Amino acid sequence: MMPTFHSADRPTHRRVMVVGLLFCAAFVVISFWLRPQPDDGRALVKADRLVRTAGQLQKAN
């Protein structure tokens, strides 16, 4: 059986895993930050309409 990195040096393995997790988290945060934001406000208009009409009874027919 071949020795694995995990069983060879536990503190180093833990450190490498934490650094890898930090790199992944940084990649996700940077990806969301650099993603182009929509210029239109259609989602905001729809949300505003939903909030204004919440609780009002609407006719079925």
Mean pLDDT of 11-16: 84
| pTM value surpassing 0.85 | no
Secondary structure string (H, E, C) spanning 21-55? HHHHHHHHHHHHHHCCCCCCCHHHHHHHHHHHHCC
pLDDT tens digits, 16-52:
899 999 999 999 999 988 887 666 656 566 666 666 6
CB atoms within 10 A of CB 43: 9
The pLDDT score that the predictor gives to residue 19 is 95
Which token pair is 20?
């890898």
Instruction: Provide the phi-psi class of 37: left if phi over 0, else alpha when psi is between -120 and 50, else beta.
Output: beta
- φ/ψ (deg, to 5) at 42: -60, -40
The pLDDT score that the predictor gives to residue 10 is 78
